[in-house]
């Protein structure tokens, strides 16, 4: 989820914590829990600091180790322990329990969008992206805000938060069933389907889909339960040639390959260099595929420049590559 949603979920979880008799009876503990749930709800995303280095590092690590099982345990202890240093008179057990729950909820809800996480590290490095909740879902955000407002105006916390969380759970179930219906329809049309990547949008009735079959990629949209294929590509593996082997050594290409399960590739030859371009098929928007990795390689098989990330015009992409070439 996005930062704003994680924060309001942290506040709402503090409201739910008032159902804990120990928290309810101790104002200082409640304040500590409020800080703990807000910080804990955002803590796994502290890995955004990697973006200060470069996009490749960020893409490789964001929602990776920071969302793993050991990290979830560690975040809960670090955040609650840090708060406890300032208020050692409160119950550490209850502070830790609610803070750890905030961290767990953060990682859990991130599993359900199209970006996904490596939440089951160290057992597997596989990216898990269920793809039925948008990174920013206005309904989930609004429900949490409504609960916070009602609670601040004096509404009974038990009724308020049990109602809000029940509605959110039912909403998740509804979105899961929506995705299951889409997947079922796609498999009816493409019996040889190998993989389906779904990306919900801000509109409830509009989804993006990337379909992998044995021999082809299909990119489509689903609107009002109607599936329309808008792009089709032959499924061809990257060739095992020196040019590609050189490209794979570049950190931007390596980061892309680590993250993107559904992509196509292009090799474009120019006078002074050859360009290898990888294009993620999951995020098509306005007839454009914004998530790419590009590397320019000279005739001596040396990397001139490269880039990976979200880009929404060819002009901006070339500017990024030019900047990379200048820095090199």
155-164, 237-246, 310-319: the lowest-pLDDT one: 310-319
Q: What is the pLDDT of residue 51?
A: 79
**Rounded to whole angstroms, how far apart are CA atoms 293 and 307?**
6
Give the pLDDT confidence of 183-196 residue by residue, as tens digits.
Answer: 999 999 999 999 99
Residue with tokens 């609610």: 98
312, pLDDT greater than 80: no
Q: What is the pLDDT of residue 325?
A: 59
- When pLDDT is averaged across residues 60-85 and rounded to a whole number, the result is 93
Residue with tokens 């998530």: 291
Mean pLDDT of the chain: 92
pTM of the predicted model as reported, rounded to 2 decimal places: 0.88
- Report CA 217 to chain centroid distance, whole Å: 22
Per-residue pLDDT band at 326 (split at 50, 70, 90): low
**Rounded to whole angstroms, how far apart are CA atoms 307 and 52?**
15
- How far, in Å, are 54, 127, 243, 302 from residue 238 at the CA level? 25, 21, 10, 19
220, pLDDT greater than 60: yes
H helices of the chain, in order, are: 3-17, 21-24, 27-42, 55-61, 69-84, 92-110, 138-152, 157-189, 242-249, 251-259, 314-327
**Rounded to whole angstroms, how far apart are CA atoms 137 and 283?**
17
Q: What is the pLDDT of residue 323?
A: 64
Q: What is the pLDDT of residue 5?
A: 95
Give the pLDDT confidence of 135-182 residue by residue, as tens digits.
Answer: 999 999 999 999 999 999 999 988 899 999 999 999 999 999 999 999
Lookup: tokens for 137:
């879902």
pLDDT-above-90 percentage for the chain: 80
314, pLDDT greater than 80: no
Please check whether residue 215 is in contact with residue 235, taking contact to mean a CB–CB distance below 8 angstroms. yes
Name residue 234's beta-bridge partners: 216
Q: What is the pLDDT of residue 324?
A: 62
């Amino acid at each position: 989820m996005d930062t704003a949603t994680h924060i309001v979920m942290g506040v709402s979880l503090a409201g739910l914590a008032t159902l804990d008799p120990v928290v309810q009876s101790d104002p200082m503990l409640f304040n500590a829990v409020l800080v703990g749930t807000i910080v804990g709800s955002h803590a796994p995303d502290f890995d955004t600091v990697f973006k200060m280095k470069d996009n490749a590092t960020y893409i490789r690590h964001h929602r990776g180790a920071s969302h793993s099982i050991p990290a979830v345990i560690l975040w809960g202890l670090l955040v609650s322990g840090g708060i406890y240093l300032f208020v050692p008179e409160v119950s550490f057990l209850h502070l830790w329990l609610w803070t750890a729950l905030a961290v767990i909820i953060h990682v859990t809800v991130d599993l359900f969008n199209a970006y996904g996480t490596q939440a089951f590290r160290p057992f597997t490095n596989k990216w898990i992206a269920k793809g039925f909740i948008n990174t920013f879902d206005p309904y989930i955000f609004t429900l949490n805000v409504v609960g916070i407002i009602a609670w601040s105006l004096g509404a009974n916390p038990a009724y308020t938060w049990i109602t809000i969380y029940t509605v959110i759970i039912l909403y998740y179930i509804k979105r899961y069933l929506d995705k299951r219906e889409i997947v079922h329809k796609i498999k009816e049309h493409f019996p040889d389907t190998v993989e389906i990547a779904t990306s919900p949008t801000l509109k409830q009735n509009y989804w993006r889909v990337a379909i992998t079959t044995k021999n082809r990629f299909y990119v489509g949209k689903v609107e009002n339960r109607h599936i329309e294929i808008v792009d089709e590509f032959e499924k061809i593996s990257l060739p095992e040639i020196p040019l590609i082997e050189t490209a794979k050594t570049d950190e931007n290409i390596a980061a892309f390959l680590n993250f993107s399960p559904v992509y196509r590739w292009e090799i474009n030859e120019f006078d002074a260099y050859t360009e290898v371009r990888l294009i993620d098929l999951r995020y098509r928007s306005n007839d454009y595929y914004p998530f790419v990795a590009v590397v320019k390689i000279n005739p001596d098989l040396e990397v001139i420049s490269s880039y990976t990330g979200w880009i929404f015009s060819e002009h901006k992409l070339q500017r990024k590559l030019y900047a990379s070439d200048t820095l090199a």
